[in-house]
A = this chain, B = another copy of it.
Amino acid sequence: MTSKKKFIAVIGGGDCSPQEARLAEEVGRELVRHGAILVCGGLGGVMEAACRGASSEGGITIGILPGDTRQAANPYVQIPVITGMGQARNVIVVKSAQAVIAVGGSYGTLSEISHALQNGIPVIGLNTWSLSRNGQPDNSIIPAQNPTEAVEKAINLIIK
């Protein structure tokens, strides 16, 4: 039964702008409309907005928490996973997903983008990082213009 479900991570800052929150909430809603389960880091900002959107559509939300308490989860996390591992939990967030959508974000988000790309997990970006390596652009982060496009690209690129 596991194989039928799609797990997609939404990553971004624990603090975010109102615009990023709107984008993330719409990404959360669209994910559920496309039959996906939301994976995230379980805290505030982009994570909370995405969980709020997914919950509003009746979806399932998984929060992989860095600390030791389930109380740290945002109120829309249904399945809190408590790691007590700090930033190392970023690795688990992306490995548990079959595609990743990044909304804005700072260095923690960049670490998740990097771990995803290292694992061959597709990364879709909305107003997020862009990369170049040794002076050459690296186009591994797939740009999207809006939440619907981001979710459609993520669904189409899902890895097994």
Contact = CB atoms under 8 A, between A and B. Distances in A.
A70 B160 CA distance: 8
B115 A87 contact: yes
Nearest to A17: B134
B75 A1 contact: yes
Interface stretch (A24-32, A124-132, A146-154): A124-132
Interface string A29-55: 000000001000000000000000001
A95 B118 contact: no
Interface of A: 1-2, 5, 7, 37, 55, 60, 62, 64, 68, 70-71, 73, 75-88, 91-92, 95-96, 104, 106-108, 110-111, 113-115, 117-119, 127-135, 138, 140, 160
**Secondary structure at chain A's binding surface: helix, strand, loop or mixed?**
mixed
Contact of A81 (B1, B76, B96, B113): B96
A80 B106 contact: no
In the complex, which of the residues A78, A87, A108, A117 has the most CB atoms of chain B within 10 Å of its own CB atom? A87
Contact of A133 (B2, B128, B135): B128
A134 B78 contact: no
A82 B95 contact: yes
Nearest to A85: B85
B86 A62 contact: no
A55 to B, nearest CB: 8
